[in-house]
Chain A
Amino acid sequence: MARLFARNETLVTLILLAFCAVTAAIDPHFLSVPTLFDLLRNATVMAIFSVGVLLVLASGGIDVSFTAIAAFAMYVATKAMVALGFGDSMLVAILLAGGIGLLLGLINGFFIATMKLPTMIVTLGTLNAFQGFLLTFVGTALITQVPLGMRSFSRTMLVRMETADGSIVSLPVAFLILVIVATVTGLLLNRTMLGRSIYALGGAPESAARVGVRVVAVQYFIYAYVGALSGIAGIVHGAMARVANPFDLVGLELSVIAAVVLGGARLSGGHGTLFGTLLGVALVVVINNSLITLGIPTTWQNVVTGLLILIGTGLPAFRAKLAAQRAG
């Protein structure tokens, strides 16, 4: 139990609660179901991304290309469904986008696992290569007439409630996608040898290779998985926005990485939990929401996210430095 309180997640939870308290004090409407549903709706896509990024960080790597993969998968899937006329089912859309994302992720996997190149620079390259390819060869036009499947998806509600003043608030079924994704990934990380191998790879890469972890296979899996999840996040985003905009999503990667790092994942690898990651996303979303409530213009969002990254990584890093100095 004592160990629990020393964990990163506890700190994040406390900060989250503090922010909620402050915002609620200023705007009492904050603590209400509509707000909760709003937050969950806003957080869904980012949370799906962050679940994938957790895998990458846990393995000791970093991926900045996932938003480009998402945009690519979303746009290509939508365009294909419109052109070929088979967009009646959202499930098909999800499978298609996930599949495209998976293939793109395999490309990342090739450069990282087979060619053994540094992950940051590889994904910086593929970010631009994927987005550039999309905009050059696939198209730049917005698709406003999204297929039926996506449209009806965006209107399907998981929960529908009536508030005291008679208005209806709802939680979109997209949230269910997040729940499924998070549950599956959580089970993967905690209950399968594959998931443990990912942490092993991040904790001690040489030892992992020595004891027989199939490093190359695991890395291919990780980047394919992130790709697939990103594709799913992309198509969900496109469906919810009811427009396929190929310029969307890219630019979000820093906030996602910030959320995952805040949630306890370390850049050096081997650490990070699903719960912590979701907490991190919650924190980022709540803070952004609070800023609006507190009347701070959105132009300050970048500054706040940046400060969050610095504080979220700086405090544990500094503590570790002091501990190392004391040990001599």
Chain B
Amino acid sequence: MMRMDKQATPQPMARPRRPDPVRVLGSLAGTDMGRLFLITVLVFVVMSLLEPRLFPTRGNLSSMAFQFPEIGMLALGMMLTLLTGGIDLSIIWLANLSAIVAVMVMRQIAPDPAATGAWVCLAIAAGILASLATATVGGLVNGLAIAGANIPPILATLGTGLIFKGVATVLTGGAAMLGFPEIASGIGNGAVPWLGIPVPLLIFVAAAVLVAFLLNRTAFGLRVYLFGTNPLAARFAGIDNFAVTMRVYLLSSLLGAVGGLIIAVRANSAKADYGSSYLLLTVLIGVLGGINPYGGFGKVSGLLLAVLSLQFLSSGLNMLQVSNFAVNMTWGALLLLVMVINQGSLRFGRVRKR
């Protein structure tokens, strides 16, 4: 068996010198993760230069830390489906629907938002459970459509997304649904004492760690990657494709539901069409984060860096008074740009068709 010796650069024998910044940059730019890291830093620096009095401030950092967890949760969910070579176009709609159900339940149990006490805590807990239950049902529907009926994920989640959105619209009559207990918004919009870490951020980090753990350290995670690479070979190797698909879409929905709750708590209301621009953003985050849209490859660490980059960009653009439309345009253009750049590094090799 040959062993390729990795050529080590000759070590300086004389006194240690400071690392050459150009060399460090060069080697960073050579790896995917390194490039992504550089991009994140670059965006931060550029935005700080453009708005030195607004951007790199404690207030802004805190504000951003409250904002990106919700898109981050959705991106985590989307990532799982992308890894299997599918996509979940329904995630934001199901997230909203779950949040709406949560508010309905909370209102039912504790009609007075200003109330406090054990009853309200019960209401909150019940609401959260209800939202997770809704997401479970939605995720199962997605999974059955894709794994059971063999509908291509794009079409299946297109269809279910419309259904979720429709049901949500019917439940709310199109308007925003109020009635979050104030304690809930207080916690959801607040920070953990002493550490000052926003609660949503904590939830997101916990979820990211969990997903990373699932993907890297468990048998399930490896099955997801392998199934995404070649579903036929996965079947021949004894992987239960049906179970993997069901679990992935279920997890995606649950992650989305938590994201939906975070969105609703921040807006202090639940609405059927919150975050309608998030779909594009989650795909952009996935692609920027190094997830191969054909399946089989992608890491949570890449996703995290992508979330941060886009949050910096988004906040910065907002500060520069760029309109929402222009921001959307930027996302669209960025998505195309990132795809073109990725193509250059030959990342989209395929084993199967499409």
Q: A contacts B directly in the complex (CB < 8 Å)?
A: yes
Q: Which residues does A use to contact B, with CB under 8 Å?
A: 60, 62, 111, 115-118, 120-122, 124-136, 140, 205, 254, 257-258, 261, 267-268, 297, 299-310, 313-314, 317-318, 320-321
**A62: which B residues are within 8 A, CB to CB?**
154
Name 22 interchain pairs, CB-CB below 8 A, sorted by A: A60-B354, A118-B293, A118-B339, A125-B336, A132-B327, A132-B328, A132-B331, A134-B325, A135-B323, A267-B152, A297-B170, A302-B165, A303-B162, A306-B162, A307-B163, A308-B159, A310-B145, A310-B156, A310-B163, A313-B152, A314-B145, A321-B150
Q: Which residues of the partner chain B approach A297 to less than 8 Å between Cβ atoms? A: 170
Given A118-B293, A267-B152, A306-B164, list of 16 further CB < 8 A pairs?
A111-B339, A118-B339, A121-B339, A124-B283, A125-B284, A125-B332, A125-B339, A126-B336, A132-B326, A254-B162, A305-B166, A306-B159, A313-B155, A317-B152, A320-B150, A321-B150
For the complex formed, measure the closest distance between the CB of A54 and the CB atoms of chain B, giving whole angstroms: 15
- The answer to whether B325 touches A131, judged by C-beta atoms less than 8 angstroms apart, is yes
Q: A116: which of B166, B343, B354 is its contact (CB, 8 Å)? A: B343
B152 CB contacts on chain A under 8 angstroms: 267-268, 313, 317
* A313 touching B170, Cβ below 8 Å: no
In the complex, are the beta carbons of B329 and A132 less than 8 A apart? yes
> Of the candidates A267, A303, A306, A308, which one forms a contact with B170 in the assembled complex, judged by CB atoms under 8 Å apart?
A303
- Number of B residues contacting the other chain (C-beta, 8 Å)? 51
From residue A66, how far is it (CB to closest CB) to chain B in Å?
A: 14
Binding site for A on B (CB under 8 A): 87, 145, 148-152, 154-156, 158-167, 169-170, 173-174, 277, 279-280, 283-284, 287, 293-294, 323, 325-336, 339-340, 343, 348, 353-354
Nearest neighbor of A302 in chain B, beta-carbon distance:
B166
Nearest Cβ on chain A to B124's Cβ, whole angstroms: 28
Q: Is the CB of A299 within 8 A of B332?
A: no
Q: From DSSP, what is the main secondary structure of chain B's interface residues?
A: helix
Chain A, Cβ-Cβ closest to B171 = A299
CB distance from B154 to the nearest CB of A (A): 6
B155, A309: Cβ atoms closer than 8 Å: yes
- The answer for the CA separation of A136 and B163 in the assembled complex, in Å, is 31
Is there an interface contact between A306 and B145, defined as CB atoms closer than 8 Å?
A: no
Who on chain B is nearest to A261 by CB?
B155
Residue of A nearest to B144 (CB): A314
Query: Would B154 and A120 count as touching, CB distance under 8 A?
Result: yes
Q: Given that A136-B326, A268-B354 are contacting pairs, would A127 and B163 also be in contact in the complex, using a CB cutoff of 8 Å?
A: no
Nearest CB in chain A to that of B163: its residue = A306
Cβ–Cβ < 8 Å partners of A135 in chain B:
323, 325-326, 329
B149 engages A321 (CB within 8 Å): yes
With the chains together, A127 CA to B284 CA distance in Å?
13
**B325–chain A nearest beta-carbon distance, Å:** 4
Q: Is the CB of B340 within 8 A of A317?
A: no
Q: Give B258 Cβ to nearest chain A Cβ, in Å.
A: 23
Interchain CB contact (< 8 A) of B174 among A130, A132, A299, A307: A299
Also in contact, A310 and B151, with CB within 8 A (given A125-B280, A302-B165): yes
Q: How far is the CA of A314 from the CA of B336 in the complex (A)?
A: 31
Question: Are A129 and B155 in contact, CB atoms less than 8 angstroms apart?
Answer: no
Question: Given the known A-B contacts A128-B331, A129-B336, are A117 and B159 also in contact in the complex, defined by CB atoms under 8 Å?
Answer: no
**CB-defined contacts of B158 to chain A, threshold 8 Å:** 254, 257-258, 306, 309
Contact, CB under 8 Å: A136 / B160: no
Closest B residue to A205 by beta carbon equals B353
Q: Do the beta carbons of B166 and A301 come within 8 Å of each other?
A: yes
Known: A115-B340, A317-B149. A124 touches B280 (CB 8 A): yes
Contact B343 A303 (CB under 8 A): no
- The listed residue (B154, B155, B167) touching A303 by CB distance below 8 A is B167
Could you tell me the distance between the alpha carbons of A136 and B150 in the complex, rounded to whole angstroms?
Answer: 41
With contacts A135-B323, A303-B167, A321-B150 known, is A309 near B336, CB below 8 A? no
Select from chain A the residue with minimum beta-carbon distance to B174: A299
A24 to B109, CA, bound (A): 45
CB of A115 within 8 A of CB of B150, answer no
Q: A303-B170, A306-B166 are in contact. Are A126 and B155 (CB under 8 A)?
A: no
> Is the pair A129, B329 in contact by a Cβ cutoff of 8 Å?
yes
Q: Which residues of A contact B166 (CB under 8 A)?
A: 299-306
- The CA of A185 and the CA of B238, in the complex, are separated in Å by 47
A313 touches B336 (CB 8 A): no
Nearest first, the 4 A-B pairs at minimum CB distance are A132-B329, A306-B162, A129-B332, A302-B166
A116 to B284, CA, bound (A): 18
CA distance A187 to B155 in the complex (A): 28
Cα–Cα distance between A115 and B348 once the two chains are bound (Å): 12
Q: How far is the CB of A161 from the nearest CB of chain B, in Å?
A: 36
By a CB distance below 8 angstroms, the chain B residues around A261 are 155
Alpha-carbon separation in the docked complex, A195 to B114 (Å): 65
